[in-house]
Amino acid sequence: MFRMAGVDLTQLEGISETTALVVLSEVGPDLSAFPTEKHFASWLGLCPQHRGSGGKILKRRIRRGANRAARALRMAAQGCHHAKNALGAFYRRIQSRAGGPKALVATARKLAERVYRMLRYGAEYVRQSEQAYATAYHDRLVKSMAKKAAKLGYKLVPSPASS
Q: Where are the domains of the chain?
A: 2-133
| 72 neighbors 22 (Cβ within 8 angstroms) | yes
Tens digits of per-residue pLDDT, 115-160?
Answer: 999 989 887 888 888 899 899 999 999 999 999 999 999 998 888 8
Alpha helices, DSSP H only, in the chain? 2-5, 17-27, 37-44, 68-78, 86-98, 100-121, 130-151
Burial 33-62 (b: 16+ CB within 10 A, else e): ebeebeebbbbbbbbeeeeeeeeeeeeeeb
pLDDT band at 163 (very low <50, low <70, confident <90, very high): low
DSSP annotation of 152 reads: T
Residue 61 scores a pLDDT above 80: no
pLDDT at 30 over 90: no
